[in-house]
Chains A and B, each alone.
Chain A
Amino acid sequence: MNDVLLNFPWFILFVPLVSALVITFFTKRNRGLSAGISIGAIVISFILSLILFVATGTDTVTSPKLSMDWLSVGNFIVDFGITIDPLSKLMLLIVTGVGSAIHIYSWGYMHEDRAVSRYFASLSLFTFSMLGIVLSNNFLQMFIFWELVGVSSYLLIGFWYERPPAADAAKKAFITNRLGDFGFLLGIIMVWSLLGSLNFTVLQEVIVNNPAALGGLATVVGLLLFCGAVGKSAQFPLHVWLPDAMEGPTPVSALIHAATMVAAGVYMLCRVYFLLNLSDSFALEVIGWVGGLTALLAALIAVQQNDIKRILAYSTLSQLGLMVMAVGAHQPVAGMFHLTTHAFFKALLFLGAGSVIHALHHEQDIWKMGGLKKKMPVTFWTFLIGTLALSGVPPFSGFYSKDFVLSAAYDANIGLFVIGVIVSVLTTFYMFRLFFVAFLGHPKSESAEHAHESPKVMTVPLQFLTVLSVVGGLIGVNHYVAKAKVFPGSEHHFPWYAEFIAPIVHAPVAALFGIFAVVVGFTVAYKFYAGAQRDPLPGKLGALSRAMRGRFYFDEIYSALIFMTHEAVAKLADAIDRWIIAGLLVRGTHGTTELFGRALRLVQTGNLQTYAFLIVAGVAVVLFYVLFR
């Protein structure tokens, strides 16, 4: 590997930052130029990533040029470095590749917005932060970029900050993430205090040499690190921020809240998988069940949402749950595989939804769409393929990755497998519900009748992502990422044509159940929603449907809980202030002093003889003490 190539990762990382700074400081007034700089930056990063990928293949590259000393305080040494291994290269390609498509699409979607420069600056800042997470070679660096990603997410969700829901959603996302990050930070501190390093390579060596290095705290450390993923990847119980984050512009939802940032949690779990996969740690079991629970809850909620972006948001939650579940089922490769394909088809779906929303003048209710097949053919077909991929119809990418997740769950725990199958059924159901209602049938509103196809700048990225969604499962992502040294064991490789039938050969039960889930979900969706004018489910399910529509009342429960906690804490603080600080300390000091003063005043009679007596008595006491002790 030559020296020029070693500079590539630095360029990949810093070009978007330069773009963000240039836009912010110099080209804010020129909207077209700003967009061009931002798009150019990410495309450069993408091309460099591709070259790096082609040049290094599955190698893990280490070089002193990829790291520099950053902080060193006593024995606390942190470097600012870059990891180049299959895991990070895969993520590089996803972030820059999908990111490029979305950046280009954004120009079409946002070009009427007055603050488009600010939008592209934030987008570039986000790209920089996300690439930082991907390339970090130590925990502290990752944590800093982790927070930066949180900030850029905040900026982009609250892009239309003059609308109260967007501003609130931005705050909610940021604060909810902080909760998880707090645990993550504690986990990082524990890792440092127990293992004495933050560098991933060093940590892995320590763990390999001494698997019991974490001792009895292995589970605690694992779960604290997982807290970070719970926040960022919106797992139960911190999942509430992601659906609200849909207040941001749709391309942002596609890039940040579907394809890349929310995947950071899963990526982080894979990166530190060696810290989780310890014989005396139960962290993975908990992770698996949290993932499964999230997947199930979110899929149920998605069934009864009517906002096209919210359906996709809950679907994202559900798929993230599946990825986390795969990691918990001791198969992080499956998690990464699903992450990759999901990034393709979910970005596609969001962009397709954005195209529809754009064409219908910001109408997001699926019951006001319909009849879009003729009017928006490109969006229609690409969206259909995205739906098929997400549902897991063979041979689209979703089938292969979801099958891998299901077979991992099947090997690990039959309960998780059942959850996985149910989630698959629900996924197919809500996706075809969305598809039938929003795209087929008759136009259900004025704006749907006058819809027209989006411009090329928006449809080309859709087509690009469609190609990826179709072939994503067959290009060997899973074999590639399995080469990363952070995962134990290696996988055997077989030729590309064998990939078509690999799932059925390797895990027939999982594959058959996967296909069965698709068939069931599709049939039910067809029966209920083909040509439906209104939603028939509320009538059939009653209270359950209302609960789903109300998102199982998590927000209400949380706000009540937060209110109660606040109230309790306030009451406690008030009691402490009133009784201990003001009562005991302040008034106590004053009272005691006064009491002593009153008592001592009695002694001051002014009578000479009393004083004389007291002096003699004092002398007698002192004498007694000196002589007889």
Chain B
Amino acid sequence: MNVGLEHYLIVSTILFCLGLWGVIVRRNLLIIYMSLELMLNAANLALVAFSRYNNKMDGQVIVFFIITVAAAEVAVGLALIVALYRKKQSAHVEDLTTMKL
């Protein structure tokens, strides 16, 4: 079987949907955060696939940048979660409803 662009895209879509599912359904902030990373990587995968399909390196270069920025973002995000945990003694989204008026 010949593996083509659409297969990569399908995998990417599945990964994205799994990540989205995790973000919407899971309660633990850390798990949600991991799911977000999953969605990000699904996008990365799609970029790489398109890059390969078009025989250009632009997409792969962008992916490197995304991974770099994502690493920084993860550091900031984890720091925020730790700070929040210290304040609220909880990492569950039900306890974080300060956005409600």
A binding-site residues for B, Cβ under 8 Å: 604-609, 611-613, 616
Cβ of A607: which chain B residues have Cβ within 8 Å of it?
Answer: 93-94, 97, 100
Top 7 A-B residue pairs of the complex, sorted by shortest distance between their CB atoms: A606-B100, A606-B97, A606-B99, A613-B24, A609-B24, A608-B93, A612-B23
Which residues of the partner chain A approach B94 to less than 8 Å between Cβ atoms?
A: 607
B2 within 8 A of A: no
A604-B100 CB under 8 A given contacts A609-B24, A616-B20, A616-B24: yes
Q: List 7 A-B contacts (CB under 8 A).
A: A605-B100, A606-B99, A606-B101, A607-B97, A609-B23, A609-B24, A613-B24
Q: Is there contact, CB below 8 Å, between A608 and B20?
A: no
Which residues of the partner chain A approach B10 to less than 8 Å between Cβ atoms?
none
**Chain B residues positioned under 8 Å from A616 (CB to CB):** 20, 24
| Chain B residues within 8 Å of A, Cβ to Cβ | 20, 23-25, 32, 93-94, 96-101
List chain A residues, Cβ under 8 A from B25.
Answer: 609
Residues from chain B with a CB closer than 8 A to the CB of A608 are 93, 96, 99
CA gap between A521 and B69 in the complex, in Å: 121
**Residues of B contacting A613 with CB < 8 Å?**
24
Most buried by A among B20, B93, B98: B93
Q: What is the minimal beta-carbon distance from B42 to any residue of chain A, in angstroms?
A: 14
Q: Which residues of A contact B23 (CB under 8 A)?
A: 609, 612
**Residues B101 and A609 in contact, CB atoms below 8 Å apart:** no
Minimum distance in angstroms from A625 CB to a CB of chain B? 19
Measured CA separation A612–B32 after assembly (Å) = 11
In the complex, residue of chain B having the shortest beta-carbon distance to the beta carbon of A605: B100
Q: A residues within 8 A CB of B99?
A: 606, 608, 611
Total A-B contacts with CB atoms under 8 angstroms apart:
27
How many Å lie between the Cα of A616 and that of B17 in the bound state?
Answer: 11
Contact status A606-B98, CB under 8 Å: yes
18 extra interface residue pairs, beta carbon distance < 8 Å, beyond A606-B97, A608-B93? A604-B100, A604-B101, A605-B97, A605-B100, A606-B98, A606-B99, A607-B93, A607-B94, A608-B99, A609-B23, A609-B24, A609-B25, A609-B32, A609-B93, A611-B99, A612-B24, A613-B24, A616-B20
Closest beta carbon of chain B to A611's beta carbon, Å: 8
CB distance from B22 to the nearest CB of A (A): 10
Report the minimum CB–CB distance from A602 to chain B (whole Å): 11
- In the complex, what's the smallest C-beta–C-beta distance from B52 to chain A, in angstroms? 24
Closest-by-CB residue of B relative to A610 is: B24
- Cα–Cα distance between A613 and B24 once the two chains are bound (Å): 6
Report the separation of the CA atoms of residues A349 and B81 in the bound assembly, to the nearest whole angstrom: 112
Chain A residues whose CB sits within 8 angstroms of the CB of B97 once the complex forms: 605-607
A605 to B99, CA, bound (A): 8
| Cα A613 to Cα B20 with chains together (Å) | 9
Q: Hey, which chain A residues are within 8 Å of B32, CB to CB?
A: 609
Q: Which residues of A contact B101 (CB under 8 A)?
A: 604, 606
A607 to B92, CA, bound (A): 11
A616 to chain B, nearest CB (A): 6
Chain A minimum-CB-distance residue to B23: A612
CB distance from A31 to the nearest CB of B (A): 85
CB distance from B91 to the nearest CB of A (A): 13
| Chain A residues with CB under 8 A of B93 | 607-609
Could you say which residues of chain A place their CB within 8 Å of the CB of B24?
609, 612-613, 616
Shortest Cβ distance from residue B37 to the other chain A in the assembled complex, whole angstroms: 15
- CA–CA, A612 to B25, complex, Å? 10
A611: B residues at CB distance < 8 A: 99
Closest chain B CB from A601 CB (angstroms): 8
Q: In whole angstroms, what is the CA distance A609 to B35 when docked? A: 12
A615, chain B: closest CB distance, angstroms: 10
Nearest chain A residue, comparing its CB with the CB of B93 = A608
Q: Cα distance A587–B98 when bound, in Å?
A: 34
Q: Which residue of A lies closest to B17 (CB)?
A: A616
Q: For B96, what are the chain A residues with a Cβ–Cβ distance below 8 Å?
A: 608
| Separation of A535 and B93 alpha carbons in the complex (Å) | 107
